Structure 1
Amino acid sequence: MERARQLVGEMLIYCFAVVLATGAFLALHYAPSGEEVFYDGGYEPLRGVPMSAAYQSALEISFDVRGGLLLRQLHLSSTTLLLLGTVVWAMLGHFRYAPAWLGLGLTVAGMLGGYGSVDDLFAGTALGGVPIVVWYGLHLLAALTLIVSLVVASRREAARRPRTPGFVALTLALTLLVFLWP
C-alpha cells in the first residue's frame, strides 16, 4: 500500500508540473483587477458590455490568444485531476499523514481561488464580494504551498523506499495515460 501511495504522490508532482506550466502561461495574459471595463475583444456578442478587467482578460485568453482556450481547459482538468489524486493519496495513507490533509485543503483552496479570480457569474454570486486580487493571491499561495507539501512528502517516502528508473518510468506512463484518457 505504501508503494501505491508513493506512486500516486509522484503522479501528483507531475500533474502539478502541468498545472504550473499552464498557469504560468495564463498568468502572462491575465489581469487580476476588478476595474470595470468595456469588452472589446473578438467575441462579437459581448462587445461593448461592461465587465471586470479580470473577466475580460479571461475572455481574451479564451477567444483571442492562440491556444488560450486549450490551455485554460488543460489547466482546469489538470487541477481537477490534482484534487482527485490528492483524495486518493490521502485515502491510501488512511488520512493519517498531515501532508495529505494539508494537500487536500490546499487543492480545494487553490481551486476556489482560481474560480474566484476569473470573476464570472459564479464568483460574483456564490463566492461573495471578495476582491479579485484576494482570490488570485489565494490561488497562487495555495499552489506554492501545495507543491512544497508534495515535494516534502515525496522526499520522505523516497527516503524510505528509493525510486528506481522503472518506478519513475511507470509513474510518467501512468500520468500520461491519465491525461490522454478520453
Structure 2
Amino acid sequence: MRQLLGEMLVCCFVIVLISGGFLAFFYTPSGEVIPYGGAYEPLRGVPMSAAYHSILDIGFEGGTGLYVRLLHHSTSLLLGVGTAFWALLGRFRYAFAVLCLIILGGIAGYGAADDLLSGTVLGRVPIPLWYGLHLLLALIVGAALVLSSRREAARRPRTVPFVALSIGLTLLAVFVL
C-alpha cells in the first residue's frame, strides 16, 4: 500500500512538472505594473503586475490555459495530501520535511502569481524571487520523492501491473478532483 502511494506521488509530481512547464512558457515573472489590456473586459485599464496579467492571459485567452492551471493546482494539492498520508503509512524519515517543502512551494507559487499575497508583508518580496523559490522547491521535492521511491523499489521490485495500477489510480484521482 505504501509503495503504491509512493509511486502515485511520483506520477503526481510528473503531472505537476509537465503542467508547470507548460504554464512557464506563458508566464511573465515580473513585478512591473502595467495596465490590463486582455480579454476580460471589466479589468481593462486596471493597473496590475505583469505576472498577474500573464496569469489572466493564460486563463482567458489560452484555449487550454485555465484547464492546465486547474490541473497544476489540483495535482499539487493531491501531492501535498498524498505526502501526508504517505508519511503516516510508513517510516519515511523525511516525509515531514517534504510536506513542509510542498507547502512552502505552494506559498511560493501564490507569491509568483502575485495573487493572494499581494498587499501583505509577503507581497513585498519580488516576484522573480518567489518564482525561483517555487522552481527550486519543486526540484527538491521531486528529487526526494524519486529517491524514496527508488529505495522502496529496491526492497520490493516493481512489476508492470503494479506500475500500470499506480498510473491508472493517479489519473483517476487527478481527473476525479
Alpha-carbon displacement from aligned partner over 1:29-59 (angstroms, at most 9, x marks no partner): 0001000101111111111111000000010
Matches within 5 A, 1:32-47: 32-47=29-44
Matches within 5 A, 1:23-172: 23-93=20-90, 96-120=91-115, 122-126=116-120, 127-172=122-167
How many residues align? The count is: 176
Where does the alignment leave 5 or more consecutive residues of structure 2 unmatched?
Answer: none
TM-score (norm 1): 0.92
SS at match of 2:68: helix
For 1:7, the equivalent position in structure 2 comes to: 4
Q: Give the whole-Å Cα distance in 2 for the aligned partners of 1:144 and 1:180.
A: 24
Checking the alignment, whether the CA contact within 8 Å between 1:13 and 1:150 is kept in structure 2 is yes
Alpha-carbon displacement from aligned partner over 1:149-179 (angstroms, at most 9, x marks no partner): 0010001000111111121121112112212
Q: Give the whole-Å Cα distance in 2 for the aligned partners of 1:172 and 1:34.
A: 38
Letter in 1 for 2:118: G
Q: Percent identity?
A: 56
Checking the alignment, whether the CA contact within 8 Å between 1:61 and 1:68 is kept in structure 2 is yes
Checking the alignment, whether the CA contact within 8 Å between 1:116 and 1:136 is kept in structure 2 is yes
Which consecutive aligned stretches of 4+ in structure 1 deviate over 2 angstroms post-superposition? 96-99, 125-128
SS at match of 1:155: helix
Alpha-carbon displacement from aligned partner over 1:104-147 (angstroms, at most 9, x marks no partner): 11111110111111102x21134341111111111100100011
SS at match of 2:48: strand
SS at match of 1:37: strand
Q: Give the whole-Å Cα distance in 2 for the aligned partners of 1:176 and 1:61.
A: 24
Where does the alignment leave 5 or more consecutive residues of structure 1 unmatched?
Answer: none
Letter in 2 for 1:125: G
SS at match of 2:141: helix
TM-score (norm 2): 0.95
Q: Give the whole-Å Cα distance in 1 for the aligned partners of 2:127 and 2:87.
A: 31
Alpha-carbon displacement from aligned partner over 1:10-34 (angstroms, at most 9, x marks no partner): 0001011110111011000000100
